[in-house]
Amino acid sequence: MTLKANDPSRKSWVTVEPNSDFPIQNLPFGVFRVSGGDARIGVAIGEYVLDLAAVQEAGYFNIGQLPAGIFKNQYLNPFMELGKAITRDVRERVSQLLLDSNDELASAPGVYDKFLLKQADVEMLMPVFVRDYTDFYSSREHATNVGTMFRGKDNALMPNWLHLPVGYHGRASSIVVSGTPTKRPKGQTKNDDEEQPSFGPTKRLDFELEMAFITSQATAMGESIAADEAENYIFGMVLFNDWSARDIQKWEYVPLGPFLGKNFSSVVSPWVVTMDALEPFRVAGPEQRPEPLPYLKTSGKKNIDIDLEVGIQPDGGEEKVVCHSNFKHMYWNINQQLAHHTVNGCNIGVGDMYASGTISGPEESAFGSMLEIAWKGTKPVQMPDGTERRFIHDGDTVIMRGHCEKDGLRIGFGEVRSKVLPAE
């Protein structure tokens, strides 16, 4: 499918810096408000937010089946639920309105007061209402690293890992938008040399570099989604920092898996980049051996080339980038994840979020968590201020960024950041 909005030669009459994540070929959707006002849906272009509610009120949308007031919403859910045909038409129309050869909107009186607002002047809100959340474990490099640490190199991957996308159901209520601080969680921990567990704040707070996709269509219980049809149900993607308390998790996770070590906070970027905008950056995934079962087979290029990085910034100090990874390394792609999620008849909903699991690459510089970067605390990271990090300290801000780049075109996600506050 050829989308005019993806044309790499397109330019906007809105000034967009060359290194911006938000050129006219991106147009991600988000939810914002101004000075405590009502929430509204907007699109990012350069350093601005295009207020889609104002655009619709002014009569610039001539799209059938687009309900009045659809962009005056606290979440993207009602808009996404309209279906890809309509949401795609909206993105195409916005691209047309922002095109440098079209003065429909550019010549409107007060365009930079009524329609275009500086991102720095608005408050970005949680983009979707997350009804349900699933966290996968789909990076072979990450699973191998963690398995090697705890079970040895010969037993790094569990017997099922190469046969199915491993995942667990996480906590939707504690997914928050970028900029929300994270309080250091408390819980039970037990060191190997201790007879009894103790209670207190985690000493091993960690980030997990992840991406997440969001579904825009619901299914009924008993229905399954075919792997090659999965993207018909996926609206777009966000950056995802899945905080983890490693010491709490280690003590609690056998036999039922993550609980208090994971459910205290996950932080997402505010702009949802559509699957349409990501289309030019598709690549083939890693070879899968053994061959997946038929319901997990996909055709074509299903992985996406997204450069990712993580920085740690001490309170009042200089940021240090500690990870450079890429989403293309994922062993199980998002189509396979959704197909496996629903193969048993599990119903999905609009706004449900599905995280990738930690995204690690083959080199040490691409490890996507402090557990791996500092190798269980044995290789501390030296910071610019002379301190070192085995895990994340109080006052640290963890910043994740991601973008695609090809033939001079850059499509980005912005960033997701969260500052760690002391435990109460």
Name the residues annotated as catalytic: 142
- Rounded-to-integer distance, Cα 261 and Cα 264, Å: 7
End-to-end CA distance of the chain: 52
Number of H helices, E strands in the chain: 9, 26
Please name every residue paired with 210 in a beta bridge, in sequence order, or none if there are none.
240
Other C-beta atoms within 10 Å of 154: how many? Answer: 7
Q: What is the DSSP string of 32-70?
A: EESTT---EEEEEETTEEEEHHHHHHTT----TT--TTT
Amino acid at site 163: H
Residue 400 sits at the vertex; the CA angle it makes with 121 and 205, to the nearest 5 degrees, is 115
SS3 content of the chain, % helix, strand, coil (to 5): 25, 30, 50
By residue count, the chain amounts to 424
C-beta of residue 233 within 8 angstroms of C-beta of residue 216: yes
Q: Which residue is listed with tokens 């905008």? A: 277
Residue 114 DSSP class = H
Strands (E), 299-350: 303-304, 307-313, 320-326
Contact 404, 307 (CB under 8 A): yes
Which region holds residue 51: left if phi is over 0, alpha if psi is between -120 and 50, else beta?
beta
